[in-house]
Structure 1
Amino acid sequence: MKARATWFDGCIILMLIILNLLVIVPFFYVIVVSFSPASESLGGQFYLWPKEWSFDAYSYLLGAKDFIRSFKNSFIITALGTMINLVISISLAYALSKRYLPGRRFIQLMVLFTLMFQGGLIPSYLIIKNLHLVNTYWAIVLPAATNAFTVFVMRAFFQSLPESIDEAARIDGAGEYRILLQIVIPLSMPIIATFSLFFVVQYWNDYFASVIYLNDTHLWPLQPLLRQMIASSSQIPSDANVDPGDLAQFGPNLKNAAILLAMIPIIVIYPFLQKYFAKGALLGSVKG
């Protein structure tokens, strides 16, 4: 029996090693290619380690106006969208967590309805167009300002907080806004930090909405530009300031360097929210 358990544990460990390699090796390859000279990467002269390290691709990207502008657009959209998403989601979830809210069941049904049914792409585009939001950051931010899943998980977390804290605050004369800002939010940092990470990743990686609603390439965030660089024969839009001839000189180096630079903000943010992530991801759903 013990030998069988040891064999089973060995198989599990082997599977985990293989899965980790499937993630680590491609990521490592992107890093190595981005730092290799163009002649090596284009000629296939290395596999997992370059003969010579080069920073040419990064120097070029950090000096390219279109890449810097797209990076700035992504930052603005992500910061604005995350802030609006948190404000709306926390406010709605806190209100729905109170049993004495007039029309609470009806509002919950309306929120739940959006989880089961959606309007579709064409009605959504017509609404954005009629509101004159096309070619603005708001076309990306407002349609994703909140969602039913976030609201219900946050509501469940707020309901799990002890009612005695709420009652004590009311006895001391605190109103709803003060209770929310000074008591509920500080106690709810795990769930708030978790969804903040979700929102940041959602807006930073957004591609489809940018292509649909942003016809002006100067408003493009990083993802559409990366798509053009990787998939298009000219790598970038025809009206961009980056010379396609220069891109061809770098080849895979420039593409992999752009991918790596696009991942850095998420890699930097994640360690600060990691301690809340596992805890916050379970609390609201389990206690709901």
Structure 2
Amino acid sequence: MTTLLETDKDSRRTEQPSTTPEESPLKRALRIEPRPVWEEEPTKAGLAFKGFGLVTICAIVLVPLWVVVVTSLSDTKTINDAGGLVVWPRTVTFVAYKELLGGGAVTRAALVSVGLTLVGTAFSMVISVLCAYGLSRRDSFAHSKLLMTLMATMFFGAGLIPTYLLVTGIGLSNSYWSMILPSAISVFNILVLRGFFMDTAPELIDAARIDGAGEWRILLQIVMPLSRAVIAVISLFYAVGYWSQWFNAMLYIQDSDKYPLQMILRQLVLQHQVPPGAMGAAVSSGAINSLAVQMAVMVLALIPVAVLSPFVQKHFQKGMLTGAVKG
């Protein structure tokens, strides 16, 4: 009897949860997992080549960004002495940014781009989520026909001239909606969302239907919370597309007050046109170098994407791979 009791105590003692502190995220990231038996041990030459390749790729990405930022912060004398782009700063000045954000054409264009990005992304996501959810239900109305019709638009397009005639014919010329509606929907994004929605456990949806939930409640309270990863990724795709848009503005917008930021950047870089006003007077007088203005606008255009991307990065693998493989 004593032996049985001692054995039972020992088993209970071993079954108790460990009270050791959890491993920090940094230690988990730095921990080296055991190499699978089928993988060969890396050689020193291979490791050196990989390290050199990573450093080279980082330099190719970061050096141009460094040059753009440094040039935007340089004064006219430094830019003239360097003969153009500045690699190493001598003096740091924020005159170009003060002129750009001082309430002129660039500030107005930045506000237009922010509005287009917010409204356009919300509009595109609502339409894409509704379409993807409907196509993810195999018993929905005309499921196969609608899916084939959408997929056909990925390979066959009407062309630029019919699209232009359609947009202008329905009265969208010189309207903000002309920069949203023609590119509001991406069939690829809808297919990715559809694949992720199809991965939702059917038991959850069946249980919700038994409890009396309708399709709207199933979508809003079950499917979408489980699909936060892919929704975040697709939202970033749409947001970057709207923020970087300039072609639709060039086609349909005649009023320069409605130009987005990318259109102003195109005028500065490709056409060498400085927006009228205080900035144009400053560039003409030599107080600000036109190259510094161009680089400053580039930096302003890159900031939103650079800020938002790290927050969505963790969702890329789960959101894209899972949604693309399913369905």
- Give the structure-2-normalised TM-score: 0.83
Tell me the residue number matched to 2:75.
37
CA contact (8 A) 2:78 2:86 kept: no
Residue in structure 2 matched with residue 201 of structure 1 by the alignment? 240
1:21 aligns to 2:81 (yes or no): no
Amino acid of the residue matched to residue 247 of structure 1? V
**1:216 aligns to what?**
255
The CA deviation string for residues 21-43 of structure 1, in whole angstroms up to 9 with x for no partner, is 01101101111111111210122
How far apart in 2 are the matches of 1:160 and 1:12?
A: 37
RMSD: 1.8
* 1:277 Cα offset (Å): 2.2
Task: Give unmatched runs, 5+ long, in structure 1.
Answer: none
1: CA distance between counterparts of 2:100 and 2:161? Answer: 36
- Structure 1 partner of 2:277: 241
**1 CA distance for matches of 2:186 and 2:268?**
32
**Alpha-carbon distance between aligned partners in 2 of 1:145 and 1:244, rounded to the nearest angstrom:** 35
For 1:52, the equivalent position in structure 2 comes to 91
1:180/1:215 CA distance change after superposition, 3 Å: same
Identity of aligned residues (%): 36
1:131 to 146, 162, 170: 170
**Deviation at 1:124?**
0.3
Stretches of structure 2 lacking an aligned partner (at least 5 in a row): 1-39
Q: 1:175 aligned to 2:214?
A: yes
Q: How big is the shift at 1:49?
A: 2.5
Match of 1:113 in 2: 152
Cα deviation, 1:225-275, whole Å, max 9, x if unaligned, reads 011111224333xxx435434225222221111111111122222222222
Instruction: Provide the secondary structure at the position in 2 that maps to 1:116.
Output: coil
Tell me which protein shows more helix as a share of its residues.
1
- Kindly tell me the number of residue pairs found equivalent between the two proteins: 284
CA–CA distance in 1 between the matches of 2:139 and 2:250? 44
How far apart, in 2, do the equivalents of 1:233 and 1:284 lie? 43
Bigger drift between 260-269 and 203-212 goes to 260-269
- The one-character-per-residue Cα deviations of 1:40-69 (angstroms, maximum 9, x if unpaired) are 012218953222211111111111410111
Cα distance change, pair 241–10 in 1 and its aligned pair in 2 (3 A): same
Larger Rg, first or second structure (1 or 2): 2
Give the TM-score normalised by the residue count of structure 1.
0.93
Alpha-carbon displacement from aligned partner over 1:193-237 (angstroms, at most 9, x marks no partner): 00011001001001111101111111110111011111224333x
1:141-173 CA deviation, whole Å, 9 max, x = no partner?
111121211111111111111100101111111
Q: Secondary structure at the match of 1:232?
A: coil
**AA of the residue aligned to 2:123:** I
Select between 260-269 and 160-169 the one with higher mean Cα deviation: 260-269
